[in-house]
Amino acid sequence: MHMREGLALAIALVVLGIQAGLSEINRASFPKGFVFGTASSAFQYEGAVKEDGRGPTIWDIFSHSGIIIDGSNADVAVDQYHRYVEDVQLMKDMGMDAYRFSIAWSRIFPNGMGEINQAGVDHYNNLINALLAQGIEPYVTLYHWDLPQALEDKYIGWLDPQIIKDFATYAEICFEKFGDRVKHWITFNEPHTFTIQGYYVGLQAPGRCSSILCKVGNSSTEPYIVADNVLLSHATAADIYRKNYKDKQNGSVGISLDVKWYEPETNATENIEAAERAQDFQLGWFLDPLIFGDYPSSMRSRVGSRLPNFTKSESALLKGSFDFIGINHYTTYYARENATNSLDDLLNDSVTDADAYTIPFKDGKPIGDKANSIWLYIVPRGMRSLMTYIKEKYGNPLVIITENGMDDPNSSLIPIEDALKDEKRIKYHTDYLTNLLAAIEEDGCNVKGYFAWSLLDNWEWIAGFSSRFGLYFVDYNDNLKRYPKDSVSWFKNFLASA
Protein backbone atom coordinates (compact mmCIF):
# COMPACT_ATOMS: atom_id res chain seq x y z
CA MET A 1 0.00 0.00 0.00
CA HIS A 2 1.19 3.54 -0.79
CA MET A 3 2.41 5.61 2.15
CA ARG A 4 -0.47 8.08 1.81
CA GLU A 5 -3.03 5.28 1.81
CA GLY A 6 -1.45 3.87 4.97
CA LEU A 7 -1.62 7.28 6.60
CA ALA A 8 -5.22 7.73 5.50
CA LEU A 9 -6.20 4.37 6.99
CA ALA A 10 -4.52 5.23 10.27
CA ILE A 11 -6.31 8.60 10.34
CA ALA A 12 -9.60 6.89 9.56
CA LEU A 13 -9.31 4.91 12.78
CA VAL A 14 -9.15 8.17 14.68
CA VAL A 15 -11.99 9.74 12.71
CA LEU A 16 -14.18 6.73 13.50
CA GLY A 17 -13.54 7.42 17.15
CA ILE A 18 -11.79 4.12 17.85
CA GLN A 19 -9.76 4.87 20.90
CA ALA A 20 -8.90 3.37 24.24
CA GLY A 21 -11.22 3.14 27.17
CA LEU A 22 -10.75 1.46 30.48
CA SER A 23 -11.87 -1.91 29.21
CA GLU A 24 -10.71 -4.89 31.20
CA ILE A 25 -7.64 -6.32 29.57
CA ASN A 26 -4.94 -8.61 30.93
CA ARG A 27 -2.20 -10.93 29.76
CA ALA A 28 -4.74 -13.47 28.53
CA SER A 29 -6.18 -10.82 26.18
CA PHE A 30 -2.97 -10.90 24.15
CA PRO A 31 -1.80 -13.66 21.80
CA LYS A 32 -0.05 -16.65 23.30
CA GLY A 33 3.67 -16.02 23.64
CA PHE A 34 3.32 -12.23 23.73
CA VAL A 35 6.20 -10.89 25.86
CA PHE A 36 5.82 -8.35 28.67
CA GLY A 37 8.82 -6.68 30.22
CA THR A 38 10.39 -3.52 31.55
CA ALA A 39 13.20 -1.50 30.01
CA SER A 40 16.27 0.43 31.17
CA SER A 41 19.66 1.66 30.01
CA ALA A 42 23.14 1.31 31.48
CA PHE A 43 23.91 5.01 31.87
CA GLN A 44 20.56 5.81 33.48
CA TYR A 45 20.69 2.88 35.90
CA GLU A 46 24.10 1.47 36.66
CA GLY A 47 26.18 4.18 38.30
CA ALA A 48 29.61 2.85 39.34
CA VAL A 49 31.11 4.92 36.54
CA LYS A 50 34.69 4.56 37.76
CA GLU A 51 34.53 0.99 39.02
CA ASP A 52 35.91 -2.28 37.66
CA GLY A 53 37.76 -0.77 34.73
CA ARG A 54 34.87 1.08 33.06
CA GLY A 55 36.11 3.82 30.73
CA PRO A 56 34.54 7.29 30.52
CA THR A 57 31.77 7.95 28.01
CA ILE A 58 30.52 11.02 26.17
CA TRP A 59 27.63 11.18 28.63
CA ASP A 60 30.00 11.21 31.63
CA ILE A 61 31.54 14.34 30.18
CA PHE A 62 28.24 15.89 29.09
CA SER A 63 26.48 15.22 32.41
CA HIS A 64 29.19 17.22 34.20
CA SER A 65 29.05 20.13 31.75
CA GLY A 66 26.48 22.20 33.67
CA ILE A 67 23.62 21.63 31.23
CA ILE A 68 21.56 19.13 33.29
CA ILE A 69 18.37 20.81 34.53
CA ASP A 70 18.70 19.88 38.20
CA GLY A 71 22.51 19.97 38.30
CA SER A 72 22.72 16.22 38.86
CA ASN A 73 24.83 13.57 37.15
CA ALA A 74 24.66 9.78 36.69
CA ASP A 75 27.79 8.83 38.61
CA VAL A 76 25.61 6.76 40.95
CA ALA A 77 22.28 6.87 39.08
CA VAL A 78 20.10 4.22 40.80
CA ASP A 79 23.09 1.97 41.50
CA GLN A 80 21.82 -1.07 39.63
CA TYR A 81 25.43 -2.13 39.09
CA HIS A 82 25.46 -3.19 42.74
CA ARG A 83 21.73 -3.85 43.25
CA TYR A 84 20.84 -5.92 40.22
CA VAL A 85 19.95 -8.98 42.30
CA GLU A 86 17.36 -6.95 44.20
CA ASP A 87 16.02 -5.41 41.01
CA VAL A 88 15.73 -8.78 39.26
CA GLN A 89 13.64 -9.94 42.20
CA LEU A 90 11.34 -6.94 41.76
CA MET A 91 10.71 -8.00 38.16
CA LYS A 92 10.13 -11.58 39.23
CA ASP A 93 7.62 -10.46 41.86
CA MET A 94 5.66 -8.55 39.20
CA GLY A 95 5.56 -11.54 36.88
CA MET A 96 7.51 -9.89 34.05
CA ASP A 97 8.71 -12.15 31.25
CA ALA A 98 11.69 -10.12 30.11
CA TYR A 99 14.10 -7.31 30.94
CA ARG A 100 15.54 -4.96 28.35
CA PHE A 101 18.85 -3.46 29.47
CA SER A 102 21.88 -2.07 27.70
CA ILE A 103 25.52 -3.02 27.88
CA ALA A 104 27.93 -0.15 28.48
CA TRP A 105 30.43 -0.33 25.62
CA SER A 106 33.11 1.21 27.85
CA ARG A 107 32.75 -1.60 30.39
CA ILE A 108 33.69 -4.12 27.70
CA PHE A 109 36.25 -1.91 25.92
CA PRO A 110 37.26 0.99 28.21
CA ASN A 111 38.93 2.67 25.23
CA GLY A 112 36.25 1.67 22.75
CA MET A 113 38.62 -0.86 21.16
CA GLY A 114 41.66 -2.89 22.04
CA GLU A 115 41.87 -4.94 25.21
CA ILE A 116 38.72 -6.50 26.66
CA ASN A 117 37.90 -5.61 30.27
CA GLN A 118 37.08 -8.94 31.90
CA ALA A 119 35.44 -7.29 34.93
CA GLY A 120 32.86 -5.77 32.60
CA VAL A 121 32.21 -9.12 30.94
CA ASP A 122 31.83 -10.70 34.37
CA HIS A 123 29.26 -8.13 35.46
CA TYR A 124 26.97 -8.71 32.50
CA ASN A 125 27.40 -12.47 32.80
CA ASN A 126 26.23 -12.17 36.40
CA LEU A 127 23.24 -10.00 35.45
CA ILE A 128 22.20 -12.29 32.59
CA ASN A 129 22.51 -15.37 34.78
CA ALA A 130 20.52 -13.73 37.58
CA LEU A 131 17.71 -12.92 35.13
CA LEU A 132 17.62 -16.43 33.67
CA ALA A 133 17.64 -17.98 37.13
CA GLN A 134 14.35 -16.17 37.77
CA GLY A 135 12.87 -17.09 34.41
CA ILE A 136 13.32 -13.60 32.95
CA GLU A 137 14.49 -13.34 29.35
CA PRO A 138 17.26 -10.79 28.65
CA TYR A 139 16.76 -8.37 25.76
CA VAL A 140 20.11 -6.63 25.30
CA THR A 141 20.72 -3.24 23.71
CA LEU A 142 24.29 -2.80 22.49
CA TYR A 143 24.25 0.98 22.23
CA HIS A 144 22.09 3.26 24.35
CA TRP A 145 23.88 6.58 23.73
CA ASP A 146 26.99 6.05 25.92
CA LEU A 147 29.83 6.12 23.39
CA PRO A 148 33.29 5.57 24.89
CA GLN A 149 34.87 9.01 25.19
CA ALA A 150 38.12 7.59 23.79
CA LEU A 151 36.49 7.17 20.38
CA GLU A 152 35.06 10.69 20.48
CA ASP A 153 38.55 11.96 21.24
CA LYS A 154 40.23 9.78 18.62
CA TYR A 155 38.10 10.46 15.55
CA ILE A 156 34.93 12.36 16.63
CA GLY A 157 32.97 9.15 17.18
CA TRP A 158 29.90 8.70 15.00
CA LEU A 159 31.09 11.27 12.47
CA ASP A 160 33.87 8.98 11.21
CA PRO A 161 33.26 5.73 9.28
CA GLN A 162 35.93 4.07 11.45
CA ILE A 163 33.14 3.74 14.03
CA ILE A 164 31.49 1.07 11.86
CA LYS A 165 34.43 -1.27 12.30
CA ASP A 166 34.83 -0.55 16.01
CA PHE A 167 31.14 -1.04 16.73
CA ALA A 168 31.18 -4.31 14.79
CA THR A 169 34.12 -5.54 16.88
CA TYR A 170 32.33 -4.60 20.10
CA ALA A 171 29.08 -6.22 18.94
CA GLU A 172 30.82 -9.43 17.97
CA ILE A 173 32.51 -9.71 21.37
CA CYS A 174 29.07 -9.37 22.98
CA PHE A 175 27.64 -12.06 20.69
CA GLU A 176 30.58 -14.28 21.54
CA LYS A 177 30.54 -13.72 25.31
CA PHE A 178 26.79 -13.59 25.98
CA GLY A 179 25.00 -15.02 22.94
CA ASP A 180 24.74 -18.52 24.35
CA ARG A 181 22.12 -17.05 26.76
CA VAL A 182 21.01 -13.80 25.13
CA LYS A 183 18.59 -14.51 22.28
CA HIS A 184 17.31 -10.99 21.61
CA TRP A 185 19.74 -8.27 20.52
CA ILE A 186 18.98 -4.61 19.83
CA THR A 187 21.85 -2.86 18.10
CA PHE A 188 20.84 0.77 18.74
CA ASN A 189 18.37 2.63 20.89
CA GLU A 190 16.68 5.62 19.27
CA PRO A 191 19.25 6.65 16.66
CA HIS A 192 16.93 9.46 15.59
CA THR A 193 16.99 10.94 19.10
CA PHE A 194 20.75 10.97 19.62
CA THR A 195 21.33 12.06 16.02
CA ILE A 196 19.06 15.10 16.35
CA GLN A 197 19.66 15.94 20.01
CA GLY A 198 23.39 15.29 19.91
CA TYR A 199 24.28 16.80 16.54
CA TYR A 200 21.42 19.14 15.58
CA VAL A 201 20.26 20.90 18.75
CA GLY A 202 23.15 20.02 21.04
CA LEU A 203 21.04 19.10 24.07
CA GLN A 204 22.48 15.60 24.35
CA ALA A 205 25.98 14.22 24.20
CA PRO A 206 28.27 15.02 22.50
CA GLY A 207 26.57 18.43 22.33
CA ARG A 208 27.35 19.44 18.76
CA CYS A 209 25.31 21.95 16.71
CA SER A 210 25.55 25.19 14.73
CA SER A 211 23.80 27.42 17.29
CA ILE A 212 25.24 29.37 20.19
CA LEU A 213 24.38 26.42 22.43
CA CYS A 214 27.41 24.54 21.09
CA LYS A 215 31.11 25.17 20.74
CA VAL A 216 31.39 23.06 17.60
CA GLY A 217 29.25 21.28 15.03
CA ASN A 218 27.25 21.64 11.82
CA SER A 219 23.51 21.09 12.19
CA SER A 220 22.91 20.96 8.45
CA THR A 221 25.26 18.06 7.70
CA GLU A 222 26.36 16.18 10.81
CA PRO A 223 23.01 14.53 11.68
CA TYR A 224 22.91 12.90 8.25
CA ILE A 225 26.51 11.68 8.49
CA VAL A 226 25.94 10.25 11.96
CA ALA A 227 22.72 8.51 10.92
CA ASP A 228 24.46 6.98 7.91
CA ASN A 229 27.27 5.57 10.04
CA VAL A 230 24.79 4.26 12.62
CA LEU A 231 22.72 2.48 9.97
CA LEU A 232 25.80 0.88 8.43
CA SER A 233 27.04 -0.11 11.89
CA HIS A 234 23.71 -1.79 12.59
CA ALA A 235 23.69 -3.63 9.29
CA THR A 236 27.31 -4.74 9.68
CA ALA A 237 26.67 -6.11 13.18
CA ALA A 238 23.48 -7.86 12.04
CA ASP A 239 25.39 -9.44 9.15
CA ILE A 240 28.09 -10.70 11.50
CA TYR A 241 25.46 -12.23 13.76
CA ARG A 242 23.65 -13.95 10.90
CA LYS A 243 26.82 -15.34 9.34
CA ASN A 244 28.68 -16.40 12.48
CA TYR A 245 26.28 -16.83 15.38
CA LYS A 246 22.63 -17.18 14.43
CA ASP A 247 22.73 -20.86 13.48
CA LYS A 248 24.36 -21.98 16.71
CA GLN A 249 22.83 -19.43 19.08
CA ASN A 250 19.37 -19.24 17.48
CA GLY A 251 18.83 -15.60 18.42
CA SER A 252 17.49 -12.50 16.71
CA VAL A 253 18.71 -8.97 16.00
CA GLY A 254 16.67 -5.77 15.82
CA ILE A 255 16.91 -2.04 16.35
CA SER A 256 14.77 0.28 18.52
CA LEU A 257 13.42 3.41 16.84
CA ASP A 258 11.73 6.34 18.58
CA VAL A 259 8.47 7.30 16.93
CA LYS A 260 5.98 10.02 17.69
CA TRP A 261 2.75 9.60 15.77
CA TYR A 262 1.85 12.66 13.70
CA GLU A 263 -1.76 13.61 12.99
CA PRO A 264 -2.40 16.24 10.30
CA GLU A 265 -3.63 19.39 12.02
CA THR A 266 -6.44 19.57 9.45
CA ASN A 267 -7.55 17.45 6.51
CA ALA A 268 -5.98 19.97 4.12
CA THR A 269 -3.73 18.26 1.59
CA GLU A 270 -0.70 20.32 2.60
CA ASN A 271 -1.05 19.23 6.23
CA ILE A 272 -1.52 15.56 5.32
CA GLU A 273 1.65 15.81 3.25
CA ALA A 274 3.43 17.59 6.11
CA ALA A 275 2.54 14.72 8.45
CA GLU A 276 3.94 12.27 5.88
CA ARG A 277 7.19 14.24 5.64
CA ALA A 278 7.50 14.52 9.40
CA GLN A 279 7.25 10.74 9.62
CA ASP A 280 9.74 10.29 6.77
CA PHE A 281 12.27 12.47 8.60
CA GLN A 282 11.72 10.50 11.82
CA LEU A 283 10.80 6.84 11.33
CA GLY A 284 11.46 6.65 7.59
CA TRP A 285 14.96 8.04 7.96
CA PHE A 286 16.00 4.83 9.72
CA LEU A 287 13.40 2.26 8.70
CA ASP A 288 13.24 2.91 4.95
CA PRO A 289 16.90 1.88 4.45
CA LEU A 290 16.28 -1.35 6.40
CA ILE A 291 13.17 -2.21 4.38
CA PHE A 292 13.80 -0.67 0.96
CA GLY A 293 17.56 -0.11 0.93
CA ASP A 294 17.49 3.70 0.69
CA TYR A 295 16.31 6.84 2.43
CA PRO A 296 12.78 8.16 1.77
CA SER A 297 12.38 10.04 -1.51
CA SER A 298 11.19 13.12 0.40
CA MET A 299 14.55 13.19 2.17
CA ARG A 300 16.46 12.67 -1.05
CA SER A 301 14.68 15.59 -2.73
CA ARG A 302 14.84 18.00 0.20
CA VAL A 303 18.26 17.27 1.70
CA GLY A 304 20.02 16.83 -1.61
CA SER A 305 23.79 16.41 -1.60
CA ARG A 306 23.94 16.66 2.21
CA LEU A 307 22.29 13.23 2.44
CA PRO A 308 24.87 10.47 1.94
CA ASN A 309 24.39 7.93 -0.83
CA PHE A 310 24.55 4.19 -0.25
CA THR A 311 26.62 2.06 -2.58
CA LYS A 312 24.88 -0.97 -4.09
CA SER A 313 26.61 -3.26 -1.61
CA GLU A 314 25.67 -1.02 1.32
CA SER A 315 22.06 -0.94 0.19
CA ALA A 316 22.01 -4.72 -0.07
CA LEU A 317 23.57 -5.00 3.39
CA LEU A 318 20.95 -2.70 4.89
CA LYS A 319 17.89 -4.18 3.25
CA GLY A 320 16.32 -6.80 5.50
CA SER A 321 19.05 -6.48 8.16
CA PHE A 322 16.72 -7.18 11.09
CA ASP A 323 14.58 -9.89 12.63
CA PHE A 324 12.34 -7.41 14.43
CA ILE A 325 11.83 -3.66 14.71
CA GLY A 326 11.68 -2.17 18.19
CA ILE A 327 9.36 0.82 18.51
CA ASN A 328 9.66 3.31 21.37
CA HIS A 329 6.38 5.19 21.37
CA TYR A 330 5.12 7.65 23.96
CA THR A 331 3.15 10.46 22.40
CA THR A 332 1.36 12.02 19.41
CA TYR A 333 1.64 15.51 17.90
CA TYR A 334 -0.16 17.48 15.23
CA ALA A 335 1.68 18.29 12.02
CA ARG A 336 1.15 21.10 9.56
CA GLU A 337 3.04 22.55 6.64
CA ASN A 338 5.84 24.87 7.60
CA ALA A 339 7.84 26.25 4.72
CA THR A 340 9.52 28.98 6.76
CA ASN A 341 12.24 26.83 8.36
CA SER A 342 11.72 28.80 11.57
CA LEU A 343 13.39 28.27 14.91
CA ASP A 344 10.19 26.57 16.07
CA ASP A 345 11.23 23.45 14.20
CA LEU A 346 14.41 23.21 16.22
CA LEU A 347 12.51 23.52 19.48
CA ASN A 348 10.13 20.76 18.47
CA ASP A 349 12.80 18.21 17.59
CA SER A 350 12.04 18.48 13.89
CA VAL A 351 14.70 18.78 11.24
CA THR A 352 13.89 21.95 9.33
CA ASP A 353 14.49 20.17 6.04
CA ALA A 354 11.16 18.39 6.52
CA ASP A 355 9.21 21.66 6.24
CA ALA A 356 6.78 20.26 8.78
CA TYR A 357 5.77 22.05 11.95
CA THR A 358 4.94 19.58 14.75
CA ILE A 359 3.34 20.65 18.00
CA PRO A 360 0.98 19.07 20.58
CA PHE A 361 -1.54 21.95 20.38
CA LYS A 362 -4.35 22.92 18.05
CA ASP A 363 -6.31 26.16 18.48
CA GLY A 364 -4.59 26.56 21.84
CA LYS A 365 -5.81 23.20 23.15
CA PRO A 366 -3.43 20.33 23.97
CA ILE A 367 -3.76 17.09 22.02
CA GLY A 368 -4.07 15.16 25.29
CA ASP A 369 -3.37 15.22 29.00
CA LYS A 370 0.24 16.13 29.77
CA ALA A 371 2.70 13.99 31.71
CA ASN A 372 5.61 15.65 33.52
CA SER A 373 8.00 15.90 30.56
CA ILE A 374 7.41 18.96 28.40
CA TRP A 375 7.23 16.76 25.29
CA LEU A 376 4.98 13.96 26.58
CA TYR A 377 1.24 14.28 25.95
CA ILE A 378 -0.96 11.26 26.55
CA VAL A 379 -2.69 10.23 23.32
CA PRO A 380 -3.43 6.49 23.41
CA ARG A 381 -5.03 6.36 19.95
CA GLY A 382 -1.62 7.16 18.48
CA MET A 383 -0.40 3.67 19.36
CA ARG A 384 -2.98 2.00 17.14
CA SER A 385 -2.56 4.51 14.34
CA LEU A 386 1.21 4.07 14.36
CA MET A 387 1.07 0.27 14.33
CA THR A 388 -1.37 0.37 11.40
CA TYR A 389 0.88 2.80 9.52
CA ILE A 390 3.91 0.52 9.98
CA LYS A 391 1.90 -2.49 8.85
CA GLU A 392 0.61 -0.80 5.72
CA LYS A 393 3.73 1.07 4.64
CA TYR A 394 6.40 -1.47 5.55
CA GLY A 395 4.73 -4.82 4.91
CA ASN A 396 3.83 -5.76 8.50
CA PRO A 397 7.29 -6.47 9.93
CA LEU A 398 7.61 -8.10 13.35
CA VAL A 399 7.39 -5.26 15.90
CA ILE A 400 8.19 -5.18 19.60
CA ILE A 401 7.20 -2.13 21.64
CA THR A 402 10.55 -1.67 23.34
CA GLU A 403 9.49 1.43 25.31
CA ASN A 404 6.18 2.96 26.41
CA GLY A 405 5.41 4.89 29.55
CA MET A 406 4.95 8.26 31.23
CA ASP A 407 6.55 10.30 33.97
CA ASP A 408 5.49 12.16 37.08
CA PRO A 409 7.41 15.09 38.58
CA ASN A 410 10.02 14.55 41.25
CA SER A 411 9.06 17.08 43.93
CA SER A 412 10.17 17.30 47.53
CA LEU A 413 6.69 18.67 48.25
CA ILE A 414 5.05 15.36 47.32
CA PRO A 415 5.12 12.81 50.19
CA ILE A 416 6.28 9.33 49.19
CA GLU A 417 2.91 7.82 50.06
CA ASP A 418 1.26 10.19 47.57
CA ALA A 419 3.91 9.62 44.90
CA LEU A 420 3.15 5.89 45.07
CA LYS A 421 -0.46 6.51 44.03
CA ASP A 422 0.12 6.67 40.29
CA GLU A 423 -3.38 6.21 38.90
CA LYS A 424 -2.41 8.34 35.90
CA ARG A 425 0.31 5.84 34.97
CA ILE A 426 -2.08 2.91 35.37
CA LYS A 427 -4.55 4.60 33.05
CA TYR A 428 -1.75 5.37 30.59
CA HIS A 429 -0.68 1.73 30.32
CA THR A 430 -4.26 0.49 30.25
CA ASP A 431 -5.20 2.82 27.42
CA TYR A 432 -2.06 2.32 25.34
CA LEU A 433 -2.23 -1.46 25.77
CA THR A 434 -5.91 -1.44 24.81
CA ASN A 435 -5.04 0.35 21.58
CA LEU A 436 -2.11 -1.97 20.96
CA LEU A 437 -4.39 -4.99 21.41
CA ALA A 438 -6.87 -3.53 18.93
CA ALA A 439 -4.05 -3.04 16.43
CA ILE A 440 -3.09 -6.70 16.83
CA GLU A 441 -6.53 -8.32 16.91
CA GLU A 442 -8.59 -6.05 14.68
CA ASP A 443 -5.97 -4.63 12.32
CA GLY A 444 -3.67 -7.64 12.05
CA CYS A 445 -0.51 -5.83 13.16
CA ASN A 446 2.44 -8.14 13.82
CA VAL A 447 3.39 -7.07 17.37
CA LYS A 448 4.88 -9.62 19.77
CA GLY A 449 6.02 -7.73 22.86
CA TYR A 450 5.64 -4.70 25.13
CA PHE A 451 8.24 -3.19 27.45
CA ALA A 452 7.23 -0.55 29.97
CA TRP A 453 9.62 2.33 30.53
CA SER A 454 10.71 1.97 33.17
CA LEU A 455 11.25 -0.51 35.99
CA LEU A 456 12.63 2.18 38.31
CA ASP A 457 12.68 5.94 38.55
CA ASN A 458 16.05 6.84 37.05
CA TRP A 459 18.38 9.53 35.78
CA GLU A 460 16.53 10.99 32.79
CA TRP A 461 19.30 12.53 30.65
CA ILE A 462 19.09 16.34 30.51
CA ALA A 463 16.14 16.26 32.96
CA GLY A 464 18.35 14.58 35.55
CA PHE A 465 16.37 13.28 38.51
CA SER A 466 13.50 15.74 37.96
CA SER A 467 11.43 13.15 36.10
CA ARG A 468 10.02 9.87 37.49
CA PHE A 469 9.17 7.22 34.88
CA GLY A 470 9.42 4.22 37.17
CA LEU A 471 6.93 1.60 38.23
CA TYR A 472 9.03 1.58 41.40
CA PHE A 473 9.69 4.80 43.29
CA VAL A 474 13.36 5.38 44.12
CA ASP A 475 14.00 7.43 47.25
CA TYR A 476 16.99 9.57 46.32
CA ASN A 477 17.18 10.85 49.90
CA ASP A 478 17.33 7.46 51.60
CA ASN A 479 19.90 5.10 50.14
CA LEU A 480 18.01 4.71 46.86
CA LYS A 481 15.37 2.48 48.44
CA ARG A 482 12.82 1.07 46.00
CA TYR A 483 9.10 1.32 46.80
CA PRO A 484 6.35 -0.18 44.62
CA LYS A 485 3.93 2.30 43.14
CA ASP A 486 0.31 1.29 42.61
CA SER A 487 1.22 0.52 38.99
CA VAL A 488 3.31 -2.41 40.24
CA SER A 489 0.21 -3.99 41.74
CA TRP A 490 -1.68 -3.25 38.53
CA PHE A 491 0.96 -4.97 36.38
CA LYS A 492 1.16 -7.89 38.80
CA ASN A 493 -2.59 -8.46 38.52
CA PHE A 494 -2.51 -7.86 34.77
CA LEU A 495 0.23 -10.44 34.26
CA ALA A 496 -1.22 -13.01 36.67
CA SER A 497 -4.48 -13.18 34.72
CA ALA A 498 -3.45 -15.76 32.16
Name every residue whose Cβ is closer than 8 Å to that of residue 106 and which is 6 or more positions away in sequence: 54, 55, 56, 57, 112, 146, 148, 149, 150
The number of helices, as runs of H, and strands, as runs of E, in the chain is 20, 19
Task: Decide: residue 51, CB within 10 A, 0-12 exposed, 13-18 middle, 19+ buried.
Answer: middle
270 is catalytic: no
Q: 371 vs 208, 329, 350, 401, 428, CA distance in Å?
A: 28, 14, 21, 20, 10
222 is catalytic: no
Query: 3-15 vs 381-394: helix axis angle to the nearest 10?
Result: 160
DSSP assignment string, 182-194: --EEEEEE-HHHH
3-state secondary structure of 50: coil
- Annotated catalytic residue within 137, 314, 392, 403: 403
DSSP assignment string, 329-363: ---EEEEEE-TT--HHHHHTT--GGG-EEEESEET
- Annotated catalytic residue within 190, 222, 263, 273: 190
Name every residue whose Cβ is closer than 8 Å to that of residue 66 and which is 6 or more positions away in sequence: none
Of 113, 111, 258, 117, the residue nearest 188 (C-alpha): 258
Of 303, 249, 299, the residue nearest 276 (C-alpha): 299
Active-site positions read: 190, 403
